Structure 1
């Protein structure tokens, strides 16, 4: 089974996780929008990244797990709109590709990894502990978004296996 774990948003990441191992992790593809050089997710590149990695896999053996995000207190209206737009683009791409999607609230996967009420960077530490072979690709503080996608995919893989 291939689990595609997605931490949505401009600075998010996409993890390709197969049979309990990290196959690849890519930062969320983005592009510049408008005159102010604001970033937005690049839907066509997301499609390409996923298509490239699933072309030889039966779709019934693929699960897409997207972090179920919502508005956060103190976040601006514009940034919240952009975040929601990114989430919608991801849902649209996966729907068009006919990939099954599952949504997991951050509290659920973070509780599984004992990360509730911890610093943002704690997920990077946990991912390095669980997947030490991948530590060189999680060496920067900004790699915490990659770690979130990895742990999200791992959470689904581990809990899904328990249900089998």
Structure 2
């Protein structure tokens, strides 16, 4: 069945994920595709683009958008770490731009507050995602699946913003 709306939720870290919501229901997801370049891990933009294109091709005519977590350097991050994290986020945004996928950014404190996750551990997001998306529970069985859970909740946040007329 072809969806009318595809929303990609993206947790942009190298251990993050990208998930597709199909008319608000959890669909295909992948852990953030990475590759090694000169001994460093970085986003595999080609694999990311292929995933997005495949989802779009499976649902011709659907409205496609994305919501990506707006990340920044954390206190205590070294310069190299902060630069590499920013580079990853920029690569994801560039991939979306090249593919013509409009996106909004979700400030962590804002989307987490909306889902009552402020001050809770990472597993709370995974438990909430299982509750909200029972069809995705099999993809969220491990504690380290918190990146997948965050991506699902970021996608949901993006859809809710779009529905309220806030997102572009």
Q: Which residue of 2 aligns with 1:20?
A: 24
**Does 2:81 correspond to 1:57?**
no
Q: Which residue of 2 aligns with 1:2?
A: 6
Q: Hey, what's the Cα distance between the residues in 2 that align with 1:76 and 1:120?
A: 23
Answer yes or no: is the 8 Å Cα contact 2:16–2:148 preserved in 1: yes
Q: Which residue of 2 aligns with 1:91?
A: 93
Answer yes or no: is the 8 Å Cα contact 2:17–2:31 preserved in 1: yes
The alignment yields a C-alpha RMSD, in angstroms, of 1.5
Listed as ranges, the matches of 1:12-161 within 5 Å are: 12-34=16-38, 37-55=39-57, 56-58=59-61, 61-161=63-163
Q: Hey, what's the Cα distance between the residues in 2 that align with 1:104 and 1:57?
A: 26
Unaligned stretches of 5+ residues in structure 1: none
Query: TM-score, length-normalised on structure 1?
Result: 0.92
Superposed CA deviations along residues 9-51 of structure 1, whole A, max 9, x for unmatched, are 21110010011101111100001121xx331111111111111
Shift >4 Å, 4+ stretches: none
